[in-house]
Amino acid sequence: MPDRLGAPLPAPLFNRLAIIGLGLIGSSLARAARARNLAAAIVAIDGSETVRDRVTQLNLADTITGDTANGVQDADFIILCVPVGACGSVAEAMRPGLAKGAIISDVGSVKGSIVAQIAPHLPANVHFVPAHPVAGTEYSGPDAGFSTLFLNRWCILTPPEGTDPAATAKVRAFWEAIGSNVEEMSPAHHDRVLAITSHLPHLIAYNIVGTAADLEEVTQSEVIKFSAGGFRDFTRIAASDPTMWRDVFLNNKDAVLEMLGRFTEDLSALQRAIRWGDGEALFTHFTRTRAVRRSIIDLGQEVDAPDFGRRTKPDDETQ
């Protein structure tokens, strides 16, 4: 498995790449695109002056602006990297500046709602290829990004029916160049798959950490002190950005509620097995789940190190 990005391409894939929203994902894309020479010029567009100042200091782009319509002018590839709930207003703001033939994409964690928000604002002479990199951390902002974030991670493309295959192929080439494995599916299927693999686990983590924080008979210091018993791993997920995750749940409501219903039923079955002392049911269940983890490791989506691959040296924490 490769552990670093390849050499810069001899010729860039795009002339002008505009990235809107320079947080964890947007700044990682800027870094990765620079490292691999994927665009002749990079434009960073962000509404926050603080973010723009930081992007300037980090030298992540050739042009940095807060004006969305101006920023996207002449860009042949535009990627929206803002929270899901902001995509409609950002698409509306960029419309006056869009160049004919431009490819518009995004990185939103929900796809059905993104298509519904963005597509109505796009003129017929541009291409729309939504994307979702299944990669991230619990950190936010331009300082949190790093160029290898997408390496050996999946990126799911959900091009609407009738999308120009050449545009989809270019977006695929971009993600592959920064190390991702690319798969295509419909927005609805994406939202169901991610509801169970990402959205529900985050909801469970937010819930369990909240429950522990509210417990009266166990002190806060005990929760922190004994967290290595399993709780610690939930706290990492539950530290994820509140704006991003609020928007994910509001915009993938149906799929999340459906998966939550199934989860609750299965949880009741486990509760029942504990109540009735049904050790065989518990053992069978836990054996099946252990095999799922093995498959994830075999697919290279997790490391086989003990303690959930947690790094021991503080200077390793930069990744």
Interatomic CA distance for residues 291 and 62, integer angstroms: 47
Interatomic CA distance for residues 319 and 315, integer angstroms: 9
Q: According to the binding rule CB under 6 A, does residue 82 interact with ligand NAP?
A: yes
151-160 per-residue burial string, b: 16 or more CB within 10 A, e: under 16: bebbbbbbbe
Interatomic CA distance for residues 21 and 110, integer angstroms: 17
Q: Which range binds ligand NAP by CB under 6 A, 20-28, 161-169, 188-196, 270-278?
A: 20-28
Q: According to the binding rule CB under 6 A, does residue 23 interact with ligand NAP?
A: yes
Find the shortest distance in angstroms from Cβ 140 to ligand NAP. Answer: 3
Instruction: Between 48 and 227, name the residue whose CB sits nearer to ligand NAP.
Output: 48
Q: Residue for token digits 């050449």? A: 166
Strand 154-157 versus strand 131-133 pairing type: antiparallel
Interatomic CA distance for residues 158 and 140, integer angstroms: 25
* From candidates 13, 16, 19, 26, binder to ligand NAP by CB under 6 A: 26
Write the CB contacts of 216 (distance below 8 Å, at least 6 apart in sequence). Answer: none
DSSP lists the bridge partners of residue 182 as 155
Q: According to the binding rule CB under 6 A, does residue 155 interact with ligand NAP?
A: no
Find the shortest distance in angstroms from Cβ 263 to ligand NAP. Answer: 21
Question: Do residues 131 and 156 make contact, with C-beta atoms less than 8 angstroms apart?
Answer: yes
Interatomic CA distance for residues 50 and 61, integer angstroms: 15
Alpha-carbon separation of residue 118 from 81, 102, 129 (angstroms):
13, 14, 11
Q: Which range binds ligand NAP by CB under 6 A, 35-43, 76-84, 162-170, 228-236?
A: 76-84
Instruction: Between 133 and 179, name the residue whose CB sits nearer to ligand NAP.
Output: 133
Instruction: Between 17 and 273, name the residue whose CB sits nearer to ligand NAP.
Output: 17
The contact mask relative to ligand NAP for 251-280 (x = CB under 6 A, - = no) is: ------------------------------
Find the shortest distance in angstroms from Cβ 221 to ligand NAP. Answer: 30
Interatomic CA distance for residues 85 and 104, integer angstroms: 17
Q: According to the binding rule CB under 6 A, does residue 25 interact with ligand NAP?
A: yes
Q: Which range binds ligand NAP by CB under 6 A, 78-86, 117-125, 177-185, 249-257?
A: 78-86
Q: According to the binding rule CB under 6 A, does residue 65 interact with ligand NAP?
A: no
Q: According to the binding rule CB under 6 A, does residue 140 interact with ligand NAP?
A: yes
Q: Which range binds ligand NAP by CB under 6 A, 10-18, 24-32, 257-265, 299-307?
A: 24-32
Count of residues that bind ligand NAP according to CB under 6 A: 26
* From candidates 38, 78, 79, 84, binder to ligand NAP by CB under 6 A: 84
* From candidates 71, 112, 130, 136, binder to ligand NAP by CB under 6 A: 136
Instruction: Give me 243's structure tokens.
Output: 């704006």
- The amino acid present at 27, given as its one-letter code, is S
Helix (H, G, I), strand (E, B) or coil at 195: helix
Q: According to the binding rule CB under 6 A, does residue 133 interact with ligand NAP?
A: yes
Q: According to the binding rule CB under 6 A, does residue 86 interact with ligand NAP?
A: yes
Question: Do residues 46 and 22 make contact, with C-beta atoms less than 8 angstroms apart?
Answer: yes
Question: Do residues 30 and 54 make contact, with C-beta atoms less than 8 angstroms apart?
Answer: no
Q: DSSP code of 199? A: I
Query: Where on the chain is the footprint of ligand NAP (CB under 6 A)?
Result: 21-26, 46-48, 51, 81-84, 86, 89-90, 107-109, 133, 136, 140-141, 241, 244
